[in-house]
Amino acid sequence: MQVLVVLAVCVLGAHAALDPKFLEKLTEEVQAVGTACGEKEHATADDMIEIMEHKFPPTHHEAKCVIACYYKHYKMMKDDGTFDKDAAIKAFDEIKSQDADIYGKILKVIDACDAKKQMSDDHCESAASMAACVKKEAESVGLTKEAFMLLILVGIIFFTGSLAVDQDFVEKFMQKMEKIGEVCAKETHATTDDVTDLIEQKDPKTHEGKCLIFCYHKKFNTMKEDGSLDKVGSVLALDDLRNADFELYKQLLAVFVTCGDKAKIFDDPCETATALTLCGRDEAKALGLQDSMFG
């Protein structure tokens, strides 16, 4: 997940084959729907983390209902809990002229999961089952490598884009981010909104949201327990990337150095961590390293 921007940007930079303006509009829309559905279904931070890390089916019923909420918002699930295949296909009309290959793969996923759908009297269970199918079928046709997050509409899957770095490195990194995210959300008592703001790269609104960032920094050894910066730890945190993509490693190292020099140290380490991360976000963008959330 893109929760520690200066680290996550190294694996989440996307070179989209689709129109950037279209992707930006879609990303904003999906993020807004996700926030609304999370609140409506009383999903916890852990629930949202599972969805954003595409753990399908998710553990809790509330998380499954968030997925159903998505489907119903996009008219792909009817009020009676049945799926509308035609609506799912229509949702991707705008893709057809932009990238025929991606569009064809999407249709294959829709066809496969429509044939395999498992219906339940509980709409949330049906939605969770469909999401699990979409994840599996998307992987089988190679969509997990596409630079977009369009299948959020049919499977709530958040793609990492066309990555220059080794896929094995990416998978291991994402697993580490997922585990740390679960621990940090519990340790800091972060809410669903706090997690969502972090994933959407918005400035945290609460102290818990800022401490969630500090927790990530500590886990990656970029900050010490007393709130001071760990410059040695920061360099070591990028060590695995050196072999995966040396050019990207040098760019990320430059971000670390710049923000380490600029960092303002506050009495509250959560404030320091937030300032450091916002600096990392800005410097990464300045270098053309675009971070994708849910895409």
Give the three-class secondary structure for 223: strand
Give me the pLDDT at residue 134, please.
Answer: 85
* Distance in angstroms (rounded) separating the CA atoms of residues 232 and 248: 19
Only one residue has tokens 């899957």, namely 157
* Distance in angstroms (rounded) separating the CA atoms of residues 291 and 283: 12
Query: Where are the chain's structural domains?
Result: 17-155, 167-286
* Distance in angstroms (rounded) separating the CA atoms of residues 37 and 198: 17
CATH architecture of 167-286: Orthogonal Bundle (1.10)
Query: Where do the H-state alpha helices sit in 14-122?
Result: 20-40, 45-52, 61-73, 85-90, 93-96, 100-116
Number of residues that make up the chain: 295
Give pTM, 2 decimals.
0.53
Is-same-fold flag (17-155; 167-286)? Answer: yes
Q: List the CATH code of the domain at 17-155.
A: 1.10.238.20
| 6 φ/ψ angles, rounded to the nearest 5 degrees | -65, -20
Tens place of pLDDT per residue across the chain (295 aa): 232 222 322 222 333 355 666 766 766 677 678 778 888 999 887 777 777 667 788 899 999 999 999 889 888 899 999 988 898 888 778 878 877 887 888 888 889 988 988 889 999 999 999 988 888 888 788 764 332 233 433 333 333 333 345 566 666 776 777 788 888 889 999 988 888 787 777 889 999 999 999 998 898 888 899 998 887 777 777 777 777 777 777 777 788 878 887 878 899 999 999 998 888 888 877 877 644 322 3
Q: Which are the contacts of 48, defined by CB distance < 8 A and separation ≥ 6?
A: 34, 38, 63, 66, 192, 195, 196
Give me the pLDDT at residue 20, please.
Answer: 60
